[in-house]
Amino acid sequence: MNIALAQINPIVGDLTGNARKILDYARRAKAQGADLAVFPELCISGYPPQDLLDNSTFIEAVQHTLAHLAAEAPRDMGLIVGAPVRNPAPVGKRLFNAAFLFENGETLGTVYKTLLPTYDVFDEYRHFESSPSRHLVLWRGYKLGLHICEDMWNNEEEAPFYLYAANPIDELAALGAELFINISASPFSYGKHDVRNRLIEESCREHGLPFVFVNTVGANTEIIFDGDSRVHAADGTRLLCAPSFEEHLMLWDSNAPQTACTMQHDAIADLHDALAMGIHDYFHKTGAFSKALIGLSGGIDSAVTCALAANALGSDKVVGVTMPSRYSSTGSVSDSEALAENLGIEFHEIAIKPAVSAFEGMLAPAFAGTTPGVAEENIQSRTRGLTLMALSNKFNYLLLSTGNKSEMAVGYVTLYGDTNGGVAVLSDVLKTRVYELARYINRRAGREIIPENTITKPPSAELRPDQKDEDSLPPYAVLDEILRRYIEEWEELDTIVSHTGFDAALVHDILRRVDRNEYKRRQAPPGLRVTHKAFGLGRRLPIVMRWNRAAIRALAQESSVE
Amino acid sequence: MNIALAQINPIVGDLTGNARKILDYARRAKAQGADLAVFPELCISGYPPQDLLDNSTFIEAVQHTLAHLAAEAPRDMGLIVGAPVRNPAPVGKRLFNAAFLFENGETLGTVYKTLLPTYDVFDEYRHFESSPSRHLVLWRGYKLGLHICEDMWNNEEEAPFYLYAANPIDELAALGAELFINISASPFSYGKHDVRNRLIEESCREHGLPFVFVNTVGANTEIIFDGDSRVHAADGTRLLCAPSFEEHLMLWDSNAPQTACTMQHDAIADLHDALAMGIHDYFHKTGAFSKALIGLSGGIDSAVTCALAANALGSDKVVGVTMPSRYSSTGSVSDSEALAENLGIEFHEIAIKPAVSAFEGMLAPAFAGTTPGVAEENIQSRTRGLTLMALSNKFNYLLLSTGNKSEMAVGYVTLYGDTNGGVAVLSDVLKTRVYELARYINRRAGREIIPENTITKPPSAELRPDQKDEDSLPPYAVLDEILRRYIEEWEELDTIVSHTGFDAALVHDILRRVDRNEYKRRQAPPGLRVTHKAFGLGRRLPIVMRWNRAAIRALAQESSVE
């Protein structure tokens, strides 16, 4: 049997465009001799369709698209695609997340998703009913263990806790499956490739079955799908691997001699490519912009964002603007200029003094007798933000915001100032990892892209004389360790202190800053998600709340006394 | 039996504060002779706790708080409270949404929520496992049909579709319940009071049982709870009604002679009070602000927002600022001044010309040869937004954003300009209803609060000479009808056209504008939710997407031909 794995990049909602792409890949698969072409989860609608699924006209349109696909697909080849479909029962959620096997215009198999991720960025139980049962798909005499994404993820052998009662993989094996086929929309996160390797290898070995995994690729608003489609042999060996972060069609002949795939992944390279794809797809899938625009401060975040944009879109599609103020170091302009030159991008300088002075004059009566502080600092940042948005509005530039995860976490950003933008490129990348990215970018280019001075000088917002980030924050190595544990692992005060030995008052202060700055993050642009816990869709916290660690400690002591 | 209904206003996360409040109400209930005091759903944690529930230290702290409450509550009185608790099983979601009945330090009953709303603003299956079974709570010989919020909502007699298979109300009745007790965190929406009346009346009549409904009250970030707690007799008659939008304790003696409650609700008055509570609770629960700040344009939205703020916080806690530009009408300043005078609030005028001119100068080289347009208009709006944020930062003012739902829908707002603010007061109120609110505010005051000229002049953004909203938008009566049907009812193009007779091209254009402006709404402040479908938490749509109504029409015709 010759199976084509079609790792495609659909656009959410673009039913006709996605169908055209699926037909194109199906025809190429057929031309290469495929018996069966497998496409990703919800490839008709794109993933995540979110509340488009509440639009019944959209669901009808999906039905029409499926009929069109079944009719137009190449003859004498199976076609597996994913789409949302109506739940025919008068009870439960109104839709199923379904996989269909078509051939010669007929529907030969239909499978509904059983395990519906409803955590982190996933909201599947918002729309979908869980499949009440598991069954095999019989096709040309083969017993296919076809299932959808999360259905393969409840399979750890010795877990202390299972999120779901059902284990579709085990059930399909027990029903006599000869081959697992998983169609996924499984997002990228740092290190996820290795997790998938382990999970699929274990599933193969446990059941002695080969495994075909077809994942979607591309970025849809904030969620990035890496692809990473593959075939594993019954003993777990990875036989065939698709390159990550690009569309790919590959064929697996199950009867040919099998050799292992040796493709290696480098975590920082994957991170780079994920972010570049995030920029690329936001830009091209909206189709609304002429170029990308970045405010260059001479610092590491804007430099890395700019290099990623140039990589994603081409140097001719990137505009950098430096906007010095009276507090800017000379490096602010010269390092930005060097970066722009290294990248070969369009570069402008617009000094912000006129507007800042105007605001100072306008506000002088109201501010009389007060001490300069955050309000004055923010005027500078917001003047820059306004200047960039004026350029964006005038020339249809996509403004990229440059704040990193560490800053966004503790609120070391100015709302309506440096947070401005259509997409936040680094908002899921801790500052220490932004440095890793900078070094990787230079290493990969084999020359200086990010100026050395940008990498080595102490980070500063340059909003008052001689300001340094470390005046307001602990060293980033310490800060990031606290943030990673709190945000990505949900470790709390005591656990973090006992694991790291950091000062309890410091950790307490940082956690409170994270909690209190939810209001800034709620209004931030969508941020490219590259860890298993990013701000935004995947981390939903109240703005108005009083989780008081100190008060509760007293109560805990009282109740342990009783 | 004497039952106390404690309609309280918890703060999300404030375990010790909420426990203190519960004990206070419990003691007052006991002093008034209560046998049983009933508190709302999740009253320990506040609702919605969102991903605070992922913090295991928080869940432990809830446990301590429950132990504290059970120990400290008045003796010889039952106490029903709601809290998240760990799921003891090694499978499923890690928590239950639970109700406990305590008396004399002992737990006499525990009930888990069965129906977990996971739609609109609700994410309960993100955190909670559904109760596997229903049972009665036996207390002092009574069989209590205790259940939680949504558990009473699957009870329509003749529905075409049931969201859930289970019907806890029916099951509890079949088990022999003598009384329904529902503890809720059921949000307000326009007209919800009447829906609750009908649903509870029907449940009583169907099963011949009385019904005690205890709802939470207060606003938590964007969600507003009206309270509306009540007791219904076995024949459905409403016997006892709590006032909406305030904390309230009331006792029901089931053995005393029963008379019907005659309290009437007025939908527009409820809307007013809901919005005022939204402002009040955001301001006071965060405790971070000295006053509220509103940019006054002389238009209806800022005037209504300002009147609501003065009602919610007191005139001495509200600051209005008018910021005229070269395009401002004289009414812009004089109507704002009149409003400020009518309300007795602090009022300032800051002309924006200096900053606008400065930006024009700064951008002149870049803008050379271009025609003035949206970029220049937005500079004005953003200069105002920046000025307001400077005042907010300097004096700890809570900036209230004033955009209405109609504008937010079609993107007739400037991101980082007039959308700036901590909370969007009117973002769930269509423009035509903003006018209703204005008239209600004047009617209620018995004098002019909102200046007549503000109500009667044609709406304008005043960002270019002689600009009127109706230059860019259809009349608001038409626009709002289209928006209500699309956003609140998910009607699509054909349905809207056939229901309204509006021009199809116009409707198509409006729907596209709604779809395309998701990026502005994603960065908007949290907006007070007062309909069953508000922007924000309850309406989750992709920014990057291509739902193309025209393309799909061709496909539908093709597939109907086949």
Query: B89: distance to nearest CA of chain A, Å?
Result: 8
Q: What is the pLDDT of residue A389?
A: 98
- Residue to mutate among B95, B125, B353, B545, with most A CBs inside 10 A, is B545
Chain A touched by B378 (CB under 8 Å): yes
Chain A residues with beta carbon closer than 8 angstroms to that of B164: 91-92
* Contacts A–B by Cβ distance under 8 A: 333
Chain B touched by A89 (CB under 8 Å): no
CB nearest B51 (choices: A60, A219, A540)? A540
Distance CA A501, CA A515 (A): 22
Chain B touched by A550 (CB under 8 Å): no
Q: The tokens 């198999």 sit on which residue?
A: A109
Find, in chain A, the residue whose alpha carbon is nearest to that of B350: A362
Query: A72: distance to nearest CA of chain B, Å?
Result: 11
Packed helices A549-561 and B56-72: angle between N→C axes, nearest 10 degrees: 50
Q: Are the beta carbons of A391 and B366 separated by less than 8 Å?
A: yes
Query: A125: distance to nearest CA of chain B, Å?
Result: 7
DSSP state string for A381-430: HHHHHHHHHHHHHHHTEEEEE---HHHHHHT-S-TTTTT-SSEESSTTS-
Segment A22-32 shows an average pLDDT of 98
Chain B residues with beta carbon closer than 8 angstroms to that of A493: 57
Instruction: Identify the active-site residue in B21, B30, B43, B113.
Output: B113
The CATH number of the domain covering residues in B272-550: 3.40.50.620
Chain B touched by A330 (CB under 8 Å): no
Instruction: Identify the active-site residue in B103, B124, B149, B285.
Output: B149
In which band, very low, low, confident or very high, does the pLDDT at A551 lie, cut at 50, 70 and 90? confident
Q: Who's near A423: CB < 8 A, 6+ residues apart?
A: A222, A278, A279, A282, A398, A400, A401, A525, A526, A527, A528
Chain B residues with beta carbon closer than 8 angstroms to that of A57: 492-495, 549
Q: What is the pLDDT of residue B158?
A: 63
| Three-state DSSP class for residue A543 | coil
Q: Amino acid letter at B65?
A: T
Find, in chain B, the residue whose alpha carbon is nearest to that of A350: B362
Asked whether the CA dihedral B444, B450, B455, B459 is positive or negative, the reply is negative
Chain B residues with beta carbon closer than 8 angstroms to that of A11: 544-546
Q: Is residue A562 predicted with pLDDT exceeding 50? A: no
Question: For the whole model, what pTM was predicted?
Answer: 0.97
CB nearest A165 (choices: B65, B91, B524)? B91
Query: A253: distance to nearest CA of chain B, Å?
Result: 34
CB contacts under 8 A, B 423-482 vs A, are none
The encoded tokens of residue A393 equal 């509005």
Q: Is A518 a catalytic residue?
A: no
Packed helices B431-445 and B300-313: angle between N→C axes, nearest 10 degrees: 50
Chain A residues with beta carbon closer than 8 angstroms to that of B163: 91-93
Q: Is A41 a catalytic residue?
A: yes
Residue A320, classified by CB atoms within 10 Å of its CB into exposed (0-12), middle (13-18) or buried (19+), is buried
Q: Are A304 and A426 in contact (CB under 8 A)?
A: yes
DSSP state string for A367-391: HTTPPP-HHHHHHHHHHHHHHHHHH
Chain B touched by A327 (CB under 8 Å): no
Chain A residues with beta carbon closer than 8 angstroms to that of B71: 559, 562
Chain B residues with beta carbon closer than 8 angstroms to that of A71: 559, 562
Q: Residue B36 forms beta bridges with which residues?
A: B3, B78
Q: Which helix (H) or strand (E) holds A204?
A: helix A192-207
Instruction: Identify the active-site residue in B41, B103, B377, B488.
Output: B41
CB contacts under 8 A, A 291-320 vs B, are none
Q: The tokens 């035509």 sit on which residue?
A: B432
In which band, very low, low, confident or very high, does the pLDDT at A192 lie, cut at 50, 70 and 90? very high
Asked whether the CA dihedral A511, A515, A517, A521 is positive or negative, the reply is positive
CA angle A269, A270, A275 (to 5 degrees): 100
Q: Is the fold of A2-254 the same as that of A272-550?
A: no
Q: Are the beta carbons of A14 and B60 separated by less than 8 Å?
A: no
Chain B residues with beta carbon closer than 8 angstroms to that of A118: 118, 123, 125-126
CA B421 to chain centre: 17
CB nearest A362 (choices: B92, B387, B541)? B387
**A2-254: CATH architecture:** 4-Layer Sandwich (3.60)
Chain B touched by A290 (CB under 8 Å): no
Q: Where are the domains of chain B?
A: 2-258, 272-550
In which band, very low, low, confident or very high, does the pLDDT at A466 lie, cut at 50, 70 and 90? confident
Lowest mean pLDDT, pick from A405-419, A482-496, B145-159, B285-299: B145-159
Q: Which of B294, B292, B295 is nearest to B462 (CA)?
A: B295
Distance CA A112, CA A146 (A): 10
Q: Are the beta carbons of B12 and A544 separated by less than 8 Å?
A: yes
E-state strands within A116-187? 137-139, 142-148, 179-184
Find, in chain B, the residue whose alpha carbon is nearest to that of A283: B544
Find, in chain A, the residue whose alpha carbon is nearest to that of B384: A359
Chain B residues with beta carbon closer than 8 angstroms to that of A48: 542
Half-sphere exposure in the Cβ direction for B297 (13 Å, CA): 24
Query: A185: distance to nearest CA of chain B, Å?
Result: 15
Q: Is residue A464 predicted with pLDDT exceeding 90? A: no
Query: B361: distance to nearest CA of chain A, Å?
Result: 8
The encoded tokens of residue A491 equal 């470790």
CB nearest A386 (choices: B55, B164, B379)? B379
Q: Which residue numbers in chain B have pLDDT < 70?
A: 157-159, 558-562
Find, in chain B, the residue whose alpha carbon is nearest to that of A539: B51
Q: Which helix (H) or strand (E) holds B374?
A: helix B374-395
Contacts 24+ apart (CB under 8 A), B20-23: B22/B69, B22/B79, B22/B81, B23/B69, B23/B72, B23/B73
Chain A residues with beta carbon closer than 8 angstroms to that of B375: 390-391, 393-394
In which band, very low, low, confident or very high, does the pLDDT at A550 lie, cut at 50, 70 and 90? confident
The encoded tokens of residue A534 equal 């990013």
Q: Amino acid letter at A20?
A: R
Phi, psi for residue A425 in degrees, rounded to 5: -75, -40
Nearest-Å Rg of the Cα atoms of chain B is 26
Phi, psi for residue A512 in degrees, rounded to 5: -65, -40
| Three-state DSSP class for residue A546 | coil
Segment A380-409 shows an average pLDDT of 98
Q: Are the beta carbons of B61 and A394 separated by less than 8 Å?
A: no
Query: B46: distance to nearest CA of chain A, Å?
Result: 9
CB nearest A16 (choices: B391, B422, B552)? B552
The CATH number of the domain covering residues in B2-258: 3.60.110.10
Distance CA B162, CA B102 (A): 34
Tens of pLDDT along A435-444?
A: 999 999 999 9
Q: Are the beta carbons of B389 and A415 separated by less than 8 Å?
A: yes
Chain A touched by B366 (CB under 8 Å): yes
Half-sphere exposure in the Cβ direction for B257 (13 Å, CA): 1
Q: Is B113 a catalytic residue?
A: yes
Q: Are the beta carbons of B358 and A357 separated by less than 8 Å?
A: yes
Instruction: Identify the active-site residue in A21, A30, A113, A317.
Output: A113
Chain A residues with beta carbon closer than 8 angstroms to that of B23: none
Q: Which of A422, A524, A192 is nearest to B544 (CA)?
A: A422
Q: What is the pLDDT of residue B562?
A: 45
Tens of pLDDT along A278-323?
A: 999 999 999 999 999 999 999 999 999 999 999 999 999 999 999 9
Q: Are the beta carbons of A422 and B519 separated by less than 8 Å?
A: yes
Chain B residues with beta carbon closer than 8 angstroms to that of A164: 91-92
In which band, very low, low, confident or very high, does the pLDDT at A97 lie, cut at 50, 70 and 90? very high
Q: Are B538 and B120 in contact (CB under 8 A)?
A: yes
Q: Are the beta carbons of A91 and B161 separated by less than 8 Å?
A: yes
